[in-house]
């Protein structure tokens, strides 16, 4: 006999019966009922009918304020008129050609004009593909095999990109020399042997590790903000230490700005004033369609030229497809520095409001992040790394999941890991709505925290 669901889980199920019915059908054709692990959560995700501006509408008729924006990719929210028009205009002219298009070149020209470190670039079909090709580029130009990645860093859906994504306490090792760990049982040992894991936001330790492994390192890859592990921003000191050490040892420094390009017209590297050798992009540059891109130093990028000797082979059927290029060009043309700054201010307002609510309810926690990107973490320790976020997740247990379900019922969508981002249709009143939803959710949740996780109370 199945145990009764938690009362707050039952409330969610009672509130979303149509989604429950449809997800039963989903389980017949998808393992677990969904086709995307990052968007899945228990007891089942909501099934959406449509999106408009900063709102989503599910099959049960709820209007939901969307603070997830397809994991930060929809900078203009849903169905932005100019982007819709660009897609509608392009579709009858063809969606994809085995040939260049003007919009492909125009979008690349726009990106190159905004990001000083990107002198030349290539489009691909996902952020995962962008990081993969960046690492292949680095291996080709250095003749070395290994890469360094950050503990808690996520660079896509392949083994090398996911090494030590989750810093499991019983497996992560000493912070000065973190272990290379698999996130699941699909990883070959050879992949783990090819990765040096670096602690995040530890400039002295990073400098030492790079020097120790310099003879075998092709690349150092870093997210300027840990996207999948708590939206923890890198300090300028840490990023500068990586830049200086990589330069000293002729190692390719790669910034993964797939998530953080939205932070300014030139991404996080523009905010920090640090120039990587290669930059990986995705999310917002496709205007809501699948996309990725890699760009950087002209000499490095020449390894992809079919006209060069022994080029790095990069073939991808939908890279630079006309439909995505039209969508991306419209989207980025309507997103300038002033827009990024307004969104960053809204993000500051969201974090300040969330932190005030947590304090009012006497709950240990903080809204972490920077600019337009935020994450709620239920711990009051000073968060500067994925290890700190992991400690918070362990301490919170099931409470984080209950909070996510409660926020949905109060009209606010976030990632199930409590990640929030803002979009250009949002105004201060939308942020206030999310802050109110958190207050209402914690009022509902606090009795269960007292009974089931009292350690979260101050």
Q: Does some domain include residue 243?
A: yes
Q: Do 50 and 127 reside in the same domain of the chain?
A: no
- Is the N-terminal amide bond of 137 cis, ω within 30° of 0? no
pTM over 0.75: yes
Q: Does some domain include residue 13?
A: yes
Q: Does some domain include residue 2?
A: no
Q: Check: CB of residue 17 under 8 Å from CB of residue 6.
A: no
Q: How many CB atoms lie within 10 A of CB 442?
A: 20
Q: Check: CB of residue 318 under 8 Å from CB of residue 96.
A: yes
Question: Which residues have CB under 8 Å from 135's CB, separation 6+?
Answer: 147, 160, 218, 219, 221, 254
Q: Final residue of a domain: which of 282, 306, 333?
A: 333
pLDDT at 270 over 70: yes
Average pLDDT over residues 301-316: 92
What's the pLDDT at 1? 65
Q: What angle do CA 72, 11, 397 make, to 5 degrees?
A: 60
What's the pLDDT at 3? 82
Q: Place 2 in a pLDDT band, splitting at 50, 70 and 90.
A: confident
Q: Does some domain include residue 213?
A: yes
Number of domains in the chain: 2
Average pLDDT over residues 273-301: 97
Q: Does some domain include residue 89?
A: yes
Average pLDDT over residues 121-144: 97
Q: Place 165 in a pLDDT band, splitting at 50, 70 and 90.
A: very high
pLDDT at 259 over 70: yes
Q: Do 141 and 24 reside in the same domain of the chain?
A: no
Q: Do 249 and 140 reside in the same domain of the chain?
A: yes
**Structural element, H or E, at residue 294:** strand 292-296
Q: Do 125 and 41 reside in the same domain of the chain?
A: no
Q: Do 210 and 91 reside in the same domain of the chain?
A: yes
What's the pLDDT at 293? 98
What percentage of the chain carries pLDDT values higher than 90?
96
Q: Does some domain include residue 15?
A: yes
Q: Final residue of a domain: which of 299, 333, 367?
A: 333
Q: Do 230 and 323 reside in the same domain of the chain?
A: yes
User: What are the tens digits of pLDDT across the range 44-75?
Assistant: 999 999 999 999 999 999 999 999 999 999 99
Contacts of 312-315 with C-beta under 8 Å, sequence gap 24+, read 312/133, 312/136, 312/137, 312/140, 314/122, 314/124, 314/133, 314/136
- Domain of residue 253, residue span: 81-333
Q: Check: CB of residue 234 under 8 Å from CB of residue 201.
A: yes
Q: Do 39 and 110 reside in the same domain of the chain?
A: no
Q: Check: CB of residue 133 under 8 Å from CB of residue 295.
A: no
> Beta strand 146-150 with 278-282: parallel, antiparallel or unpaired?
unpaired
Q: Do 144 and 160 reside in the same domain of the chain?
A: yes
What's the pLDDT at 171? 93
What's the pLDDT at 359? 97
Strand, helix or coil at 94? coil
Q: Final residue of a domain: which of 288, 306, 333?
A: 333
Average pLDDT over residues 242-257: 98
User: What are the tens digits of pLDDT across the range 312-359?
Assistant: 999 989 999 999 999 999 999 999 999 999 999 999 999 999 999 999
Q: Check: CB of residue 396 under 8 Å from CB of residue 379.
A: yes
Average pLDDT over residues 354-377: 97
pLDDT at 210 over 90: yes
Q: Do 41 and 179 reside in the same domain of the chain?
A: no
Average pLDDT over residues 212-225: 98
Q: Does some domain include residue 1?
A: no
Average pLDDT over residues 187-201: 95
The enclosing domain of 156 has a CATH number of 3.40.640.10
Q: Does some domain include residue 174?
A: yes
What's the pLDDT at 44? 97
Q: Do 197 and 161 reside in the same domain of the chain?
A: yes
Q: Do 293 and 360 reside in the same domain of the chain?
A: no
Q: Do 295 and 227 reside in the same domain of the chain?
A: yes
Q: Place 422 in a pLDDT band, splitting at 50, 70 and 90.
A: very high
> How far is the C-alpha of 252 from the C-alpha of 305, rounded, in Å?
18
What's the pLDDT at 413? 98
User: What are the tens digits of pLDDT across the range 23-33?
Assistant: 999 999 999 99
The enclosing domain of 343 has a CATH number of 3.90.1150.10
């Amino acid at each position: 006999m199945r145990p009764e669901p938690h009362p707050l889980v039952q409330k969610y199920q009672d509130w979303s019966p149509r989604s429950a019915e449809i997800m039963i059908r989903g389980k017949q054709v998808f393992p677990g009922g969904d086709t995307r692990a990052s968007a899945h959560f228990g007891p089942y995700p909501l099934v959406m009918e449509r999106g408009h501006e900063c709102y989503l509408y599910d099959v049960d008729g709820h209007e939901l304020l969307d603070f997830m924006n397809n994991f930060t990719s929809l900078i203009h929210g849903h169905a932005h008129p100019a982007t819709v028009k660009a897609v509608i205009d392009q579709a009858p002219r063809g969606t994809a050609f085995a040939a260049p298009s003007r919009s492909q070149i125009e979008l690349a020209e726009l990106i190159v004009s905004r990001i000083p470190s990107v002198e030349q670039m290539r489009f691909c079909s996902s952020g995962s593909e962008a990081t993969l090709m960046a690492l292949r580029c680095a291996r080709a130009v250095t003749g070395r095999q290994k890469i360094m990645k950050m503990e808690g860093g996520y660079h896509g859906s392949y083994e090398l990109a996911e090494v030590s994504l989750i810093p499991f306490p019983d497996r992560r090792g000493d912070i000065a020399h973190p272990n290379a760990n698999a996130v699941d049982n699909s990883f070959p040992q050879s992949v783990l042997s090819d990765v040096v894991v670096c602690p995040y936001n530890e400039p002295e330790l990073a400098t030492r590790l790079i020097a120790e492994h310099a003879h075998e390192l092709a690349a150092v890859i870093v997210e300027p903000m840990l996207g999948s592990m708590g939206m923890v921003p890198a300090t300028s000191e840490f990023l500068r230490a990586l830049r200086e050490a990589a330069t000293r040892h002729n190692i390719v420094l790669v910034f993964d700005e797939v998530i953080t390009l939205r932070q300014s017209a030139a991404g996080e590297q523009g905010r920090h004033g640090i120039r990587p050798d290669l930059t990986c992009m995705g999310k917002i540059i496709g205007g809501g369609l699948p996309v990725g891109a890699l760009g950087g130093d002209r000499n490095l990028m020449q390894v992809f030229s079919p006209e060069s000797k022994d080029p790095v082979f990069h073939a991808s059927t939908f890279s630079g497809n006309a439909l995505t290029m039209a969508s991306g060009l419209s989207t980025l043309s309507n997103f300038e520095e002033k827009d990024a700054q307004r969104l960053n201010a809204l993000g500051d307002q969201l974090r300040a409001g969330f932190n005030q609510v947590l304090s009012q309810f006497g709950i240990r926690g903080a809204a972490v992040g920077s600019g337009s990107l935020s994450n709620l973490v239920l711990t009051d320790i000073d968060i500067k790394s994925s290890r700190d976020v992991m400690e918070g997740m362990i301490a919170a247990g099931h409470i984080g999941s209950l909070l996510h379900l409660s926020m949905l019922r109060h009209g606010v969508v976030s990632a199930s890991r409590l990640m929030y981002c803002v979009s250009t249709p949002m105004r201060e009143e939308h942020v206030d709505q999310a802050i109110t939803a958190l207050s209402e959710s914690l009022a509902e949740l606090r009795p269960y925290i007292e009974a089931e996780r009292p350690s979260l109370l101050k």
